[in-house]
Amino acid sequence: MDKLTHFDETGRSKMVDVSDKEITLREAVASGVISMKPDTFRMIMNKEIVKGDVLEVAKIAGIMAAKKTSELIPMCHPLEITNVEMFFRPHEGESSIEIESKVKVRGRTGVEMEALVAVSVAALTIYDMCKAVDKAMIISQVKLMRKSGGKSGIYQI
C-alpha cells in the first residue's frame, strides 16, 4: 500500500469506506512506557498515592479510552469492541512501568488506534495521579506491537 487512505484523489480528508470489507476477528496489541523518579515508583507499587490505586485506575481509564477512540480520532470508525485487556509491567531498576493493551473486535476494520489510545490514556492517568509528587515523569515508546485480522494480515514488531 503506497497511498494514504484517509485522503481522496483531490487531497481532501475522508473516512475510509469499509462497507465491502469482510467481517473478521481483529486484534491489536500496543505498548508504551512511563518513567519516573524511584520514590514515585515505590509509592505506586506500595499503593501510597493519596488519589488511590494508580494502576487499577489506569487500567479502567485505558479500557474506557479504547471504547471512546472514535470520539477522539476524527476518521476512526465507531466499533463494537469485544474485549480490552490492560497489563502493567513494573521495572524497578529503571523506575518505569511498561503498559500494554490488547484490543479485540469482530468487524470490518482494525483496532490499532483503540489499542494505542488505551496505552496513551493509561499512561496519562498514571501521570495525572502522580503529578503532585513527580512532574518529571516521561511517557515514551508508544507503539503498535502486533495486529491481526483483515486483508493486510499479521503485523508484528
Question: How far, CA to CA in Å, does 94 sit from each of 40, 49, 151?
Answer: 12, 19, 39
Of 96, 109, 114, the residue nearest 35 (C-alpha): 96
In the set 17, 39, 128, 134, the catalytic residue is 128
Hey, CA dihedral for 115, 117, 6, 74, is it positive or negative?
positive
Query: How are strands ordered across the β-sheet holding 155-156?
Result: 81-91, 96-107, 24-35, 138-148, 155-156
Q: 54 phi and psi, to 5 degrees?
A: -55, -50
**Separation of alpha carbons 97 and 35, rounded Å:** 7
Strand partners, 145: none
- In the residue annotation, 2 being an active-site residue is answered as no
Active site residues: 128
